[in-house]
């Protein structure tokens, strides 16, 4: 029995040592090189779809890898200056500019197909803080209601990509699809109905391990 207990203790210490060696903390930065927003306007049970211009953005995060396969990350992303134009049935032209700040908790699964090359998938959940600026112009050229709306909503995103680790630095290239909630102007629904916000982003990332 003592021999068995000794073997179990040895294996447990070995597994603990491996976990300590593989576990690591990192600081990460992502550049959203191509980021577009899809907007669904829901007005009188009719959904109009619009797509914004491309806009750069970025994020900073602090992560922890439990081992080579699993990681958790807390990150904050910023996506500014998404612009598009909504035209109402009444002839009102609404030029809109949207910016997002999104703190999010992310979980990743990494599959290494060589010593330093990996494919990863991930998912995140958090809150989106939306700043939406309306610049409205009527058919007559007047501006009946220029205003800025700030809202917040639950957000979620999915991630896929591949990466390469060189020493204590890793480089990632991936794609992200996210839902960043709904922005609604309760005082001005006639001209600005509820807006669902979706995002497509190509991500270039770098991580520093310590």
- 4 found inside a domain: no
Domain count within the chain: 1
- 133 found inside a domain: yes
Predicted pLDDT of residue 92: 62
Q: What is the pLDDT of residues 8-45, one digit of tens each?
A: 445 444 444 433 446 799 999 988 766 666 666 555 44
Q: Give the CATH number of the domain where residue 150 resides.
A: 2.40.160.20
Predicted pLDDT of residue 200: 83
- 13 found inside a domain: no
The dihedrals phi and psi of 52, each to the nearest 5 degrees, come to -80, 175
User: Which residues of the chain are modeled with pLDDT < 50?
Assistant: 7-9, 11-21, 44-46
- 78 found inside a domain: yes
- 3 found inside a domain: no
- 15 found inside a domain: no
- 18 found inside a domain: no
Residue 144: give the domain boundaries. 23-209
CA distance 66 to 74: 14
- 203 found inside a domain: yes
Q: What is the pLDDT of residues 67-88, one digit of tens each?
A: 989 999 999 999 887 777 666 6
How is the chain classified by DSSP, letter by letter?
Answer: -HHHHHHHHHHHHHHHHHHHHH-EEEEEEEEEEEEEEEEEEEETTEEEEEE-----EEEEEEEEESSSSEEEEEEEEEEEEEEEEEE-TTS-EEEEEEEEEEEEEEEEEEEESSSSEEEEEEEEEEEEEEEEEEEEE-TTS--S--EEEEEEEEEEEEEEEEEEEETTEEEEEEEEEEEEEEE--GGGTTTS--EEEEEEEEEEEEEEE-
> What pTM did the predictor assign?
0.73
The residue written with tokens 């210490």 in the block is 13
């Amino acid at each position: 029995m003592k021999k068995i207990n000794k073997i179990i203790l040895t294996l447990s210490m070995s597994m603990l040592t491996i976990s300590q060696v593989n576990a690591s903390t990192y600081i990460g930065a992502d550049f959203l090189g191509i980021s577009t927003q899809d907007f669904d306007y829901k007005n009188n049970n009719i959904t109009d779809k619009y797509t914004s211009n491309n806009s750069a953005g970025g994020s900073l995060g602090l992560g922890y890898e439990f081992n080579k396969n699993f990681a958790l990350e807390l990150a904050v992303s910023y996506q500014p200056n998404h612009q598009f134009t909504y035209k109402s049935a009444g002839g009102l032209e609404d030029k809109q500019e949207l910016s997002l700040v999104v703190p999010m908790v992310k979980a990743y699964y990494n599959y290494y197909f060589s010593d330093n090359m990996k494919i990863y998938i991930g998912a995140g959940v958090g809150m989106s803080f939306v700043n939406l600026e309306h610049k409205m112009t009527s058919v007559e050229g007047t501006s009946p209601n220029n205003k800025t709306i700030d809202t917040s909503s639950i957000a979620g995103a999915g991630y896929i990509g591949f990466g390469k680790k060189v020493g204590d630095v890793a480089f990632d290239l991936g794609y992200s699809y996210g839902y960043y909630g709904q922005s609604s102007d309760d005082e001005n629904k006639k001209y600005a109905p509820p807006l669902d916000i979706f995002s497509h982003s190509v991500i270039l990332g770098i991580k520093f391990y310590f």
